[in-house]
Structure 1
Amino acid sequence: MMMCAAVVCFSLLDAAAKWLGSSMQAMQVVTARYVVSVALVSIVLNPWTRPGIARTRRPWLQGFRSLLLLVSTALNFFALNYLQLAETISIMFATPFLVALLAGPLLGEWAGPRRMAAIAVGFLGVLVVTRPGLGGLHPAALLSVCGAFCYAFYSLSTRMLAASDSSETTMFYSGIVGVVVMLPLLPLFWSWPTDGLSWLLLICTGVFGTIGHWLLILAHRRAPATVLSPFIYSQIIWMVGLGWLVFGQIPDRYTLLGAAIVIASGLYLLYRERVRAVPEGSARLD
């Protein structure tokens, strides 16, 4: 339930960003999302209540990881100006395949033939959604693809940092670096919202993001990732629903078919991860 609630928050975050994109620049929305989120997180995680939280053994990797998250967020918000919610999330669902593919050269975790087959099928699903060269999606789909790559490298760097820094330290840097980078640039794209709804949605981008990540952390403290990961795909339901309810957009059959292929491949990839995690010769309980 926590994982499902988290993806609801992330869906509401994307819907708010898409709505705001019609009246202001995406970078302004990104900045608001970071500033509000950092303000909320700092109430709990700060150098005074958690001494030593800013101490890291790998500062360059922390900075690089945080920049990857910032770029992925910005690319996603830019893409939302032109694509449907269901289209962007269908492309972002390719992240687990990219992580599995890149984990070999970066972490030495090479995928076997069955996992490689699942990765290939998953990318085929992404191609069905984007339909490159066939007059399919808006070229902004490339932004979502680039965002998925950035998020995959972000996920891998998070795993690399887990061996040296605490999750609280990593979360602290995730927001601080984004604020430090964006605030000096704010005068270049800031425009004052002209109505109360825009102000409310700007604040909500940070609130939804913070609550979503908090629920994500709570869920992972109570269950392993292999149990929780399949529930991430329930986000497609909320993205389709919000796209229809808020923007009057209904995804076409190619988007739905591609999303179904990506989800099915992702679930099989998770199944293979669970099989690999079971010690050889252990008793099966099912």
Structure 2
Amino acid sequence: MAGGMFIFSAVDTQAKFLTDTLHPFQIVWFRQLGLVLGLVFMLSYHGASILRTAAPGLQVLRGAVAAGSATLFIFAVSYVPLADAVAVTFVAPFMVTLMGALILREPVGMRRWTAVIIGFLATLIIIRPGTGAIHPAAFLVILAAALFAVRQIVSRALAGSDNTMTTVAYTALVSVALLSVPLPFVWQWPTEGWQIALLISMALMAALAETLVIKALELAQAVVVAPLHYTILIWSTFYGWLIFGDLPDLWTWVGAAIITATGIYTLNRERLAARKPPQT
């Protein structure tokens, strides 16, 4: 999970850099194309058996939300500093708790509900709506985080039936198929060598990061590895400063610190709840 977050931050940096010259739909399409190239390699090595799934509906759903989440995020970072956008994505664990309670009917105690409320209030500290502190596109990041939370829940459900390669395969096929629909209307041929190099690098690195995250969710419970998601802020802040000269302001750091603390608390409560023996 830590390795996946490190690589995803590099992918996001390359994507933001490319938004100055290419349409976000095209960037996301190339990002997901890396998974398709990996799928071609996997098919040549493992054969069509990796396409056998016990849950085709969930696989299609995961591919769709993966495409939607990536698209919204890249649209947002074309306007919002990278570290600020990443800090807002930290609401995803709270959304997992919220969805688990409302959709899956998982029990959630008062302490975890309090942590969820505090986490969302901290997000408002970062965005500060109405003040003009951050571009309104930051709200697209919240939608992206919601889809990321859905993807996490689906990944947990798939871990018990399908292996990592199968999930990567369907995520690649579904996301690229959906993103290919608007592509002809926004396509621009890359004219510079650096554009081509960044597109190839982004595609390959995204494929690797996606595989690492899925494998992490296979090997351990989400509540164990999910806190490592917060390390992406370290790398995104570094890349944002190094490449774009952006640094989060004080209130963004305050909001991010509150979200991180409450997020880790929420995940720890989920871990403790999972350890409790069933009532008899």
**Cα displacement string for residues 252-283 of structure 1 (whole angstroms, at most 9, x for unaligned residues):** 111111111110011111211222133459xx
Which of 88, 106, 110 aligns to 1:109? It is 106
SS in 2 for 1:211: helix
Matches within 5 A, 1:29-68: 29-44=27-42, 46=43, 49-68=46-65
C-alpha distance in 2, partners of 1:217/1:102? 20
Return the offset for 1:106: 1.5
**Cα displacement string for residues 85-114 of structure 1 (whole angstroms, at most 9, x for unaligned residues):** 111111111101001011122212131111
Contact 2:89 2:144 in 1 (8 A): yes
Return the offset for 1:50: 4.1
What residue number does 2:270 align with? Answer: 273
Q: Which amino acid aligns with 2:237?
A: V
Q: Which moved more, 1:59-68 or 1:219-228?
A: 219-228
In the superposition, relative to structure 1, how do residues 130 and 85 fare at CA in structure 2: closer, same or farther (>3 Å)? Answer: same
In the superposition, relative to structure 1, how do residues 177 and 260 fare at CA in structure 2: closer, same or farther (>3 Å)? Answer: same
What residue number does 2:253 align with? Answer: 256
**Cα displacement string for residues 52-109 of structure 1 (whole angstroms, at most 9, x for unaligned residues):** 3323344333222211110110000000100011111111111010010111222121
Matches within 5 A, 1:7-156: 7-44=5-42, 46=43, 49-156=46-153
Contact 1:47 1:53 in 2 (8 A): no
In the superposition, relative to structure 1, how do residues 161 and 225 fare at CA in structure 2: closer, same or farther (>3 Å)? Answer: closer
Unaligned runs of 5+ in 2: none
Q: Which amino acid aligns with 2:224?
A: V
Return the offset for 1:125: 1.1
**TM-score with structure 2 length normalisation?**
0.91
C-alpha distance in 1, partners of 2:228/2:178? 33
Return the offset for 1:224: 4.3
**TM-score with structure 1 length normalisation?**
0.89
**Cα displacement string for residues 138-181 of structure 1 (whole angstroms, at most 9, x for unaligned residues):** 11011111111112222223334445544432221111011222
Matches within 5 A, 1:194-213: 194-213=191-210
In the superposition, relative to structure 1, how do residues 105 and 217 fare at CA in structure 2: closer, same or farther (>3 Å)? Answer: closer
Identity %: 36
Query: Are 1:158 and 2:155 counterparts?
Result: yes
Query: Are 1:247 and 2:232 counterparts?
Result: no
C-alpha distance in 2, partners of 1:121/1:273? 17
Contact 1:37 1:207 in 2 (8 A): yes
Q: Which moved more, 1:11-20 or 1:100-109?
A: 100-109
Which of 2, 5, 26 aligns to 2:3? It is 5
Contact 2:159 2:217 in 1 (8 A): no
Aligned length: 278
